[in-house]
Structure 1
Amino acid sequence: MKPDRKNRRFLLKSGGLTLTLPALQSAPSAMAGEVGKATGHESSEGTAKRLICVGSNLGLYRQAFYPKQTGHQYETTTLLKPLEQHRKDFTVFSGFDHRAANGHRNWDNYLCGQRVGDVTLDQIAAETIGTSTRFESLQLCAGGIPSIQRMVYTRGGVPLPMINRPSVVYRKLFATADDRERSEYLLKSGRSALDLVQEDAKQLARAVGKDDKQKLSEYFTSLRELEQRMSRQLNHLADETVEVDYELPAYDPVAPTLMLECEQIMFDLMALALQTDATRVATLFIAGLGQVFTIDGQTVRAGYHALSHHGNDADLIRDLVRVETEHMRCLARFISQLKEKTDADGQPLLDTTVVMFGTGMGDASRHSNRDLPTIVAGGGLKHGQHLAADPKDARGQQLGDVFVSILKQLGSPVDSFSETKRGIDAWS
C-alpha cells in the first residue's frame, strides 16, 4: 500500500469502517492533534472517587457572581444565592485562568490548560478512578452541540463526542435486554473493524518516513484507547440491569428554547449514573446559542448569546443574570441530590465526588478568556470560602493549580497540570 501524495486526505477502509489518519508529511490527511504523554505511574488512594465537570459556554456575569470579600466571611452574591444552603460545601474561585488566548474558539482551553487539544482534566482523572466502571467517562450536552467547540480531549488529542438527548443517555445507562443485545452486536462489530484497520495502518507505516511513523504510533495509541473503551462496555453488558425510579419526559427537550429543561434532566441523569456506579467521571457542556428563554412566565428580551454580549446594557445584563441564576439553581439541586444519595458504603455521594462548575469564557461580551468564574464543591475538600488570584500576575496561581489539587484529591499520580505545579494550599 503506497500513500497518494497528491491526495490531501488519506483514509483507511476496512470492514466497512473508515478512519482518517493523522496529518502525515508523506501521507497528508485531515486529522491532526497534539498528543499528551501517559504518566506511566501507579495511582494512589484518594479521598474523592468521582468527578463531575460542568462548563458554561457563555461564562457567568462576574459582577453578579464574585463576592467582594475573600475568605470565609464573604457576602453572598446574586448568582450564589441559589447555593446558599450549600455554602459550607463549595469554594468560589476568582481571578484563576490558564493564561491562554482569547476568543470563542479558545473556550476549549477550559479543561485542557494552555494548549487546546491537550488531555483534559476529566480524562486524566478517569485513568485513575474510571477504569472499573462500565463507562470510563460520559460526555453530555444541554442544548445544541456546537460545531466548533469541544470540551473533552483524550491523551491522543481526540475530542470525545457529546450526547444531548436525555433518552439516549438513559438507554446507555439503564439498557433493556434488547438494548444490551444490540449494543453487544455493535461493539463486537466495531472492535472487529478496528482490528482490520490496524492491519492496514501497519502496512502504511512501512511506507512512510520516520516523522510520520511517530505520528502513526500516536494514532495507534488513540485506536487502543477506543478499543479499551469498547472492551470495558462489553465486559459490563453481562451485568444485571439496574432499575431506577426516574421518569423521563415524553419527548427529548432538544429544542433550543428548552435548553434549561434539558440541563436539569442531564444533572439528574449524572446523579443516577454516580449512584448506580455506571461511571465515576462525567462532563456536561451547557450550550449558549440564540435561544430566547421564558423564565417564571416572563420572556427575556433577547437570545442567550445576545444577552452575554450585553455591551454593559443594564436591561440585557438583568436578563442574562436571570438565565445564569437558572444554571445555579440546577447546580444547587444537583448538590442536594448528591447529599441525599449514597454509595455502596452508605456514604453521601457528595463526600466523595468533586463537582466543578466553570467555563472557558471569562467575559463573553469582550470575548475574554481571562479570569474564569469557577466553583468547586464536595470531594472532602475544605470549602466555605472565596479564594482570589490576580489574573494579571504572570507568576500568580492559575486554574491549573486548582486542577492539580483536584487530581491529588482523586488519588491521581500527578504533580502538575499544563504549566502549573503548585496546587491550592488553602484546601490542604
Structure 2
Amino acid sequence: MFASTRPPLSRRTFLRGVGVGLALPLLDVMAPAVARAAEAPETPRRMFGICNNLGLLPQHFFPEKAGRDYAAPAYLELLKAHKSEFTVFSGVSHPDVDGGHPADNCFLTAAPHPSSGGFRNSISLDQYVAERIGHKTRFASLTLGVNVSPGMRSLSWTGAGVLIPCESSAAAVFRRMFVRGTPAEVEAQVRKLDGGRSILDAVGGQAADLKKDLPAGDRDRLDQYFTSVRDMERRLAVAKEWERKPKPKPPGPAPTDAADPREYMDRVRLMYDMARLAFETDSTRCVTLMLDSVNSPVIDLPETKLTEAYHNLSHHGKSPAKLAQLKAIDEAHMRLLADLFAGLRTAKEGGRPLLDRTMVLYGSNLGNASTHVTTNLPVLLAGGGFKHAGHLAFDRERNYPLPNLFVSMLQRLGLSADKFASSTGTFRGLELAG
C-alpha cells in the first residue's frame, strides 16, 4: 500500500484556524502516514489495576530481605507458585497523596491532597492508556468494583477529573462482552450514539462562538473543553463501529452474581474471572477493580467466623482477635490473587501465557489502615513482560515515588511516556524482559 510521506495535517490546528470545524470527520490527511500504511500484526499488552482500600497487614506482606532470595512472609507464601512472575515493592508511596480513606480514589491518579477543600482528581493510569489505545478493542476500558459506594469511589477518572462509575455486576459485564442484541436493538443503540454525537457537535459550535470574546485564561479552558469534546466524539464513532461487529462467542453460561455483599470473596473471584475473559477475548486492554472494603459488612469466610465489619476490624488496636480475623481475610485475598495469576498463566495467546502480556498491579492506598497512613504502601506487580526482581526495597522513611512504576508500565504498553503525575522517571530496578 502506498503511504504518503507528507506530514499529517494537525486536526487541532485546523480547528483553531476555522473555529467551527469541530464536527468535521477525521480526514485521511489528518492521520499519520504510517497509520495509513499496512500495519504489521501487533502483540497486545494489557494492564489490570486492583486496589483493596483497606490494605494488608504489613508484617505478613513485606519480606525482610531484598532481592530474589527473600524468605516469603505468610501472604507471599500463598503466591509461591508464581514467585518468579511478580515483584513486591516496599518503601513506595504517592508523593503528597494523604488524607487516609479518600486516597483510594487517587491510587491510579496520584493526585495530591485528596481530602483538601476544592480537591479535583486527575486522569487515572487506565484512562491515560484508554485514550491512546482504547480504539483497538470493543471497550476502551472496563471499570469494575466490589461493594463500591456508588458515585463515591472508583479507580478510573477522566482527564477532566470526573469519576467513572464502577460496574459491580459480573453478570452485566459478561452480557456486555458476549451477548449481542437483536438487529433492531443494535440499530437503536447506533441511533443513540448518533444522537449523542450530534449534541456534542451543537454544543461544540456554540462554545467556539464564545471563544473569540474570552480572556486568555478562559480560552485555555475552552481549548481543554474542545479536547474533551473531540475525544468523546472519537469514542462515539468507534463505539458505533463496534456495535455492528459480532461479539465473541461466550465461553460458557453467564455468571450468577453473589446477591449479598457479605459474599465479598465470591464477588472478587467473579470480577477476576471477568477481567481474565476480557483479556482472553481482547475485548479491552485496560481493567480496573476497586475492592471497597471500607463499604463492606461482616463478610463470609469459609473457615473463619468474623465478628465485625471489615472496616471495624481494620482499626484493630492490636487486638489479637481482630488481627487474626484480618489475617484470615488477607489470606483469602492472596489465594484469589494466586488463582488469578494461574488463570492468566494457563490462558495462551500466540503460544505464550497471557500473564506474560498482562501487567497485574495489586496494592492499596493505605500502608496501615488502622492509622490511615498513606506511606509504605503494600504493592506488587505481576506478569506483563518484566524481568521480575523478587523484592525491590526502598527507604521506608523517605519513600520512592510509586508513579515511576506507572511510567514503566506505560512504556511496557508501547506508549511514549516519560512522565505521569508526580513521577521522576522510570521505576528503578525493574527491567523489561525481551
TM-score > 0.5 by shorter chain = yes
What's the TM-score, normalizing by structure 2?
Answer: 0.82
Which residue of 2 is the match for residue 119 of structure 1?
123
Equivalent position to 1:418, from 407, 410, 421: 421
Per the TM alignment, residue 77 of structure 1 is displaced from its structure 2 partner at its CA by 1.6
Which residue of 2 is the match for residue 107 of structure 1?
104
Tell me if structure 1 keeps the 8 A contact 2:366–2:375. yes
Q: Does 1:84 align with 2:80?
A: yes
Q: Does 1:169 align with 2:176?
A: no
Q: Does 1:403 align with 2:400?
A: no
CA distance in 1 between counterparts of 2:158 and 2:45 reads: 20
Q: 1:220 to 1:248 in 2, by over 3 A?
A: same
Per the TM alignment, residue 265 of structure 1 is displaced from its structure 2 partner at its CA by 0.8
Per the TM alignment, residue 329 of structure 1 is displaced from its structure 2 partner at its CA by 1.7
Per the TM alignment, residue 263 of structure 1 is displaced from its structure 2 partner at its CA by 1.2
CA distance in 2 between counterparts of 1:388 and 1:313 reads: 29
Tell me if structure 2 keeps the 8 A contact 1:57–1:287. yes
Equivalent position to 2:284, from 269, 279, 283: 279
Q: 1:167 to 1:206 in 2, by over 3 A?
A: farther
1:90 counterpart letter in structure 2: F
Which residue of 1 is the match for residue 48 of structure 2?
52
Tell me if structure 1 keeps the 8 A contact 2:180–2:246. no
Tell me if structure 2 keeps the 8 A contact 1:71–1:385. yes
Q: 1:208 to 1:73 in 2, by over 3 A?
A: same
1:255 counterpart letter in structure 2: D
Tell me if structure 1 keeps the 8 A contact 2:299–2:310. yes
2:262 counterpart letter in structure 1: T
Give the match's secondary structure for 1:257.
coil
Matched ranges for 1:120-159 at <5 A: 120-159=124-163
The Cα RMSD (Å) is: 2.5
CA distance in 2 between counterparts of 1:226 and 1:325 reads: 42
Gapped runs of 5+ residues in structure 1? 1-39
Which residue of 1 is the match for residue 218 of structure 2?
212
Per the TM alignment, residue 392 of structure 1 is displaced from its structure 2 partner at its CA by 2.1
Which residue of 1 is the match for residue 16 of structure 2?
none
Tell me if structure 2 keeps the 8 A contact 1:257–1:291. yes
What's the TM-score, normalizing by structure 1?
Answer: 0.83
CA distance in 2 between counterparts of 1:206 and 1:165 reads: 46
Tell me if structure 1 keeps the 8 A contact 2:394–2:400. yes
Which residue of 1 is the match for residue 91 of structure 2?
95
Tell me if structure 2 keeps the 8 A contact 1:187–1:234. yes
Which residue of 1 is the match for residue 355 of structure 2?
350
Q: 1:154 to 1:304 in 2, by over 3 A?
A: same
Matched ranges for 1:24-423 at <5 A: 49-100=45-96, 101-115=98-112, 117-178=121-182, 180-205=186-211, 208-250=214-256, 252-253=257-258, 255-288=260-293, 289-343=295-349, 345-383=350-388, 385-393=390-398, 397-423=400-426
Per the TM alignment, residue 181 of structure 1 is displaced from its structure 2 partner at its CA by 4.2
Which residue of 2 is the match for residue 31 of structure 1?
none
Q: 1:297 to 1:183 in 2, by over 3 A?
A: farther
2:301 counterpart letter in structure 1: I
User: What is the percent sequence identity of the aligned residues?
Assistant: 33
Give the match's secondary structure for 1:141.
strand
Per the TM alignment, residue 302 of structure 1 is displaced from its structure 2 partner at its CA by 0.7
Tell me if structure 2 keeps the 8 A contact 1:257–1:292. yes
Of residues 334-343 and 194-203 in structure 1, the stretch that sits farther from structure 2 once superposed is 194-203
Give the match's secondary structure for 1:354.
strand
